[in-house]
Amino acid sequence: MELSMMNDMHLEIEGMDSCHPSGVPSESVVGGQQELHSLLNVRHPYGVPSSPVGTQDIKQADSSPAFTHSDTPLIIAGPCSVESEEQIIATAQALAQIPEVKMLRGGIWKPRTRPDAFEGRGEQGLVWLREAKRATGLPTATEVATPEHVELALKYDVDALWIGARTVVNPFSVQQLADALRGVDIPVYIKNPVSPDLNLWLGAFERFQKAGVKQLAAVHRGFAYYKETPYRNYPMWEIPIELTQRLNVPLITDVSHICGNREMLQATAQKALDLATDGLMIECHINPEAALTDARQQITPEELKSLLASLTFRSKQSCDVERDLAGLRGEIDDIDSELLQLLARRMAVSAQIGEYKKSNNVAVVQMDRWKKILADHVATGADLGLSPILINKVFEAIHQASIERQGCIMDDNKG
């Protein structure tokens, strides 16, 4: 399918300074023209053996101007849903006044958790979205979940497509979309699946890559989590970081769906920038309170302007350091959490032993057995490169806590 708009579309991105003191480039430093195509191009084609970002990648990015070429994150803003002609045009016109905003998003088909909620305007919404593009010059992006959506989005000159989190969980749907986009040169942004499943996310990239889709980017929108958290979708930053280390595709952070509220947007966007995100997706509505979907997380274009002005854009190099560190810290957090689970399990078994000793009238502390265990642990620890001091300290503390727990069980018995 021909996308005539793609070649005509020009966007100002060169000369934006990622270290601008106010955090956002002023209009005076925005100059030059770059085609949308190059703006959205991937850092280097997916399929190159995965390796951490290095000189090779930078060289490739230089030879083919990439998504991240200017060091300035791509800002995609717009309503959760296209609701009416007035709403999308008024929102788009206000967003077009913000120089950093490079793309207008708007949901046309809305996947809803429960039936009977607003499910998007469908084809009519595409007419309005195209009108908003015509009125502002902003390229547009929307979510597609079926081959029919793809066909319609292309018919109405949508410039970029994203695959939603609920679709990425289903390989059949992803394959159908990849097949529908075979031979179409359009940027496709793949959101993370709802569940924290890196392989499912990687698999979606593979399906599009095999279909020959070249302009791929990842969208991090957080993950469903088994515990209550302040976020609507828990970020688990280490997962998108690992994805970009494995695939080296640009990463856009959808802070709106991560936060689920307005209050946390700024801090979350800053965190994403500190981790070298290549773009931000932020839901904006001309009247957020009246929004038909995701009213709590949308902000006005005016609020977006202040938010962008409050952000500190860092140099790519320092962000890459942060991103690598965050990946490792995430791993430490996971290990600590496993250690805690193991400690709790150990204490539970220790309590069972306490009960047994109580009913069989056995002394709590059996020093000879403990000394032997500790000596064995010190020897195993040495094999693993762990110092005897560490092993002694850790296991003495654990043993002491066990004795105390068993002592309590004995005392309960007396009572």
Q: Which positions lie near ligand PEP, rule CB under 6 A?
A: 80, 107, 111, 143, 164-166, 191, 221, 254, 257
Q: Estimate the crossing angle of helix 301-310 against helix 85-96, to 10 degrees.
A: 30
Q: Rounded to the nearest whole angstrom, what is the least distance from the CB of residue 294 to ligand PEP in the complex?
A: 7
- CB-nearer residue toward Mn ion: 80 or 265: 80
Q: Rounded to the nearest whole angstrom, what is the least distance from the CB of residue 283 to Mn ion in the complex?
A: 6
β-bridge mates for residue 163, sequence order: 190
Distance CA 375, CA 141 (A): 63
Q: Rounded to the nearest whole angstrom, what is the least distance from the CB of residue 113 to Mn ion in the complex?
A: 12
What is the separation of C-alpha 147 from the centre of its chain, rounded to a whole number of angstroms?
Answer: 25
* Run of H or E residues at 162: strand 160-163
Distance CA 45, CA 26 (A): 32
* Beta strand residue intervals within 202-328, DSSP E: 216-220, 251-254, 279-283
Q: Mark residue 294 as left, alpha or beta (left: phi above 0; alpha: psi -120 to 50; beta: remaining).
A: left
Q: Rounded to the nearest whole angstrom, what is the least distance from the CB of residue 124 to ligand PEP in the complex?
A: 18
Q: Rounded to the nearest whole angstrom, what is the least distance from the CB of residue 116 to ligand PEP in the complex?
A: 17
- CB-nearer residue toward ligand PEP: 107 or 301: 107
For residue 143, state whether it binds Mn ion (rule: CB under 5 A). Answer: no
For residue 294, state whether it binds Mn ion (rule: CB under 5 A). Answer: yes
Closest residue to ligand PEP in the complex (CB): 164
Distance CA 78, CA 284 (A): 5
SS3 of 251, please? strand
- CB-nearer residue toward Mn ion: 117 or 362: 117
Contact characters 63-92, Mn ion, x per CB under 5 A: -----------------x------------
Contacts 24+ apart (CB under 8 A), 33-36: 34/10, 34/65, 34/70, 35/6, 35/7, 35/9, 35/10, 35/11, 36/6, 36/9, 36/10, 36/11, 36/139, 36/159
Instruction: List the single partner that 407 binds among ligand PEP, Mn ion, none, CB under 5 to 8 Å by kind.
Output: none
Instruction: List the single partner that 221 binds among ligand PEP, Mn ion, none, CB under 5 to 8 Å by kind.
Output: ligand PEP
Number of residues in contact with Mn ion, rule: CB under 5 A?
2
Q: Rounded to the nearest whole angstrom, what is the least distance from the CB of residue 166 to ligand PEP in the complex?
A: 6
For residue 247, state whether it binds Mn ion (rule: CB under 5 A). Answer: no
Q: Which residues bind Mn ion (CB under 5 A)?
A: 80, 294
